[in-house]
Amino acid sequence: MMMRGRAAPWRAAVAQGPAATAGAGIAGALGLLAGPRLGAALWLGWVSVAGLALTRVGERAMVHLVHGWRPMAATQVGQLRRTAAGYGLDLTQTDLYLARTGVVGAAATGRRSLVLRDSLLRAWTSGSLTDPALAAILGHELAHLRHRDQRYALALYWLALPFTALRAFATPLGHRLLSARAWRYGLPVVLVTAVIQSFLAGDAWTVAVLLAVAAAVWVCPPLARHGTVVQELAADRSVARVGPDAGLREVRQVAAQRLPVAQSPR
In sign, the C-alpha dihedral spanning 75, 63, 7, 54 is: negative
Binding marks (x or -) toward Zn ion, 231..250, rule CB under 5 A?
-x--x---------------
Query: Which CB sits closer to Zn ion, 24 or 235?
Result: 235
Q: How far is the CB of 155 from Zn ion (least distance, A)?
A: 20
Using CA atoms, how far residue 15 sits from 174, 182, 215, in Å, is 24, 26, 9
Query: Which CB sits closer to Zn ion, 3 or 229?
Result: 229
Q: How far is the CB of 195 from Zn ion (least distance, A)?
A: 36
Contacts of Zn ion in 145-184 (CB under 5 A): none
Q: How far is the CB of 232 from Zn ion (least distance, A)?
A: 5
Query: Which CB sits closer to Zn ion, 59 or 232?
Result: 232
Cα 107 from Cα 60, distance rounded (Å) = 15
Nearest to 103 by CA among 72, 61, 53, 69: 69
Half-sphere exposure of 71 (CA within 13 A, CB side): 11
End-to-end CA distance of the chain: 27
Query: Which CB sits closer to Zn ion, 119 or 206?
Result: 119
Cα 22 from Cα 209, distance rounded (Å) = 5
Q: Which residues contact 169 (CB under 8 A, 6 or more apart)?
A: none
Binding marks (x or -) toward Zn ion, 190..229, rule CB under 5 A?
----------------------------------------
How many residues sit close enough to Zn ion to count as binding (CB under 5 A)?
2
Q: How far is the CB of 77 from Zn ion (least distance, A)?
A: 21
Query: Which CB sits closer to Zn ion, 70 or 258?
Result: 258
Q: Which residues bind Zn ion (CB under 5 A)?
A: 232, 235
